[in-house]
Structure 1
Amino acid sequence: MSLDKILSIGGKPGLYKLVTQTRTGFVAESLLDGKKITVGLRSNVSVLAEIAIYTLDEELPLREVFQKIQVKEKGGKTSIPHKSEKIKLEEYFFEVLPNYDEDRVYTSDIKKVIQWYNLLQENGLTDFSEDDEDSSEEE
């Protein structure tokens, strides 16, 4: 499953897998506990395939950041938990992405990236290649 079916829903912890669309929104399944929820059209929802991280040169798609973490960790989970202290998180992220924009990428963003990567790992969603995703090339 590619990142265009994985969602982050504002106010809800973790990540969700898009199950189906409804007339008033859609149904999503939590990757944390497998529970299904209905999400209205007014909810703040982000599709992981459309998220990017600021670097000094460009905006790097989250998929590519996940690939860099995967290479660093040799396909396993991150060596630090997302709840580590600020300096450790920044050091880790600097190893993964040395040119990230420290002024625009906050510690909370780094925590989310690490937490999301580990959650995707736990659920066996480790193929971060581009597949048929033409949407990231259009941006």
Structure 2
Amino acid sequence: MNFKDIATVAGKPGLYKILKPTRSGVILESLDEKKAKLVAGMSMRVSILSDISIYTMTEEGAEPLESLMKKIEAEYKGDTGVDASSSDAELRAFLKSVLPEFDQERVYVSDIKKLNAWYQIIRKSIPEVLEESNETEKEA
């Protein structure tokens, strides 16, 4: 599994594994212990994690979520030291430690909370996607 196989649904908490497409949407399975199935129709906003980026002040303008999560894993090994109840300053300091050039005006505290929550879900459910990919995966 990789970031192309993981999705988020607007208005629903958590992350979902993409099982298969249907004629009218896609079948998803939650990454939590419940493994609840969900048929996301065309009217639901489904975002694939590999398509999500964090705004930066660099020339590229954004950092892909996958590379950012791998940086978080390399730096923190699961213990980010922040959660949903952390202060705004603590959350911004956490993101600045792994992505110093993030755009502080366009990246909201709620985005950082979501980033941390998603990281924790991935680390618990499918930690192998946080490992640095080997050469054969890069070519695929």
Contact 1:77 1:121 in 2 (8 A): no
- Counterpart in 2 of 1:93? 95
Give the superposed CA RMSD.
1.7
> Which structure features the higher share of helix residues?
2
**CA offsets per residue over residues 23-68 of structure 1, 9 Å max, x none?**
1111100112310111101211110000011111021100111011
| Runs of 4 or more above 6 Å deviation | none
Percent of aligned pairs with the same amino acid: 35
Report the TM-score when normalising by structure 2: 0.87
The question of 1:31 aligning with 2:31 is answered yes
The question of 1:112 aligning with 2:94 is answered no
Contact 2:18 2:26 in 1 (8 A): yes
Match for 1:3: what amino acid? F
- Counterpart in 2 of 1:127? 129
Contact 2:80 2:94 in 1 (8 A): no
- Counterpart in 1 of 2:5? 5
The change in CA–CA distance for 1:25 and 1:112 in structure 2 (over 3 A counts) is same
The question of 1:63 aligning with 2:63 is answered no
CA distance in 2 between counterparts of 1:29 and 1:123 reads 12
Match for 1:8: what amino acid? T
Contact 2:96 2:102 in 1 (8 A): yes
CA distance in 1 between counterparts of 2:38 and 2:57 reads 38
Where 2:63 maps in the other structure, the secondary structure is strand
Instruction: State the shift of 1:132 in Å.
Output: 5.0
Instruction: State the shift of 1:82 in Å.
Output: 3.3
Instruction: State the shift of 1:133 in Å.
Output: 7.9
* Runs (5+) with no aligned partner, structure 2: none
- Counterpart in 1 of 2:55? 54
Report the TM-score when normalising by structure 1: 0.88
CA distance in 2 between counterparts of 1:126 and 1:86 reads 30
